[in-house]
């Protein structure tokens, strides 16, 4: 799950610039996503997730051959991109509910990356998903995620990257 956990904080650190929604509003008059979701953050986040995934392969002793099989790249990309797509989807629904950027949304704030990454993983790498996302692994993910989420947000707030510590 590291390729899924790393992209959100990296997107917050390196984000900024052009928002993904280009400032447009939905039919309800609210921004589609808001200024917090940018192309630079999306690219930096996905890139960081890929780097972490490749580093895991190297550290596992499997090495990093001159090429990686497509399923391996697809798996890592699914986790990294899926995490950010989950966050983007949450922002869309947050705006529809009238919630402001940075406003707490219990459970959705903690599990958006899990939902997005596992959904994309199941769609793009179903064999890997079935083999490795077992019930004990899923339970561990559900327990560890809010702890990591809180810790990352406190660190981000302390560094001035986030406006709120949640």
Question: Stretch 15-24: mean pLDDT, rounded?
Answer: 95
Separation CA 102–CA 104 (nearest Å): 6
- pLDDT surpassing 90 at residue 48: yes
Positive or negative, the Cα torsion across 119, 145, 46, 50?
negative
Backbone angles phi, psi at 8, to 5 degrees: -65, -50
Q: Which of 44, 62, 49, 41 is nearest to 2 (CA)?
A: 49
**Residue 10, pLDDT score:** 94
Q: What is the pLDDT of residues 96-151, one digit of tens each?
A: 998 888 788 888 888 999 999 999 999 999 999 999 999 999 999 999 999 998 88
Backbone angles phi, psi at 140, to 5 degrees: -60, -40
**Residue 60, pLDDT score:** 79
Tell me the β-bridge partners of 31: 25
Confidence tier at 65 by pLDDT (50, 70, 90): low
Residues 6+ apart with CB under 8 A from 23: 31
Q: What is the mean pLDDT of the chain?
A: 90
Q: Which of 27, 131, 15, 116 is nearest to 72 (CA)?
A: 131
């Amino acid at each position: 799950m590291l390729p899924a956990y790393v992209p959100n904080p990296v997107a917050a650190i390196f984000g900024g610039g052009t928002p993904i929604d280009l400032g447009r509003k939905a039919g309800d008059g609210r921004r589609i996503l808001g200024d917090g979701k940018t192309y630079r953050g999306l690219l930096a986040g996905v890139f960081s997730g890929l780097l972490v995934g490749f580093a895991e392969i190297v550290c596992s002793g499997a090495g990093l051959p001159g090429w990686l099989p497509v399923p391996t790249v697809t798996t890592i990309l699914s986790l990294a991109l899926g995490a950010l797509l989950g966050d983007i989807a949450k922002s869309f629904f947050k705006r529809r509910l009238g919630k402001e950027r940075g406003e707490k949304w219990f459970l959705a704030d903690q599990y958006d990356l899990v939902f997005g990454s596992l959904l994309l993983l199941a769609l793009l790498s179903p064999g890997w998903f079935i083999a490795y996302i077992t019930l004990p692994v899923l339970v561990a993910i559900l327990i560890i995620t809010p702890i990591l989420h809180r810790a990352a947000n406190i660190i981000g707030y302390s560094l001035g990257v986030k406006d709120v510590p949640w």
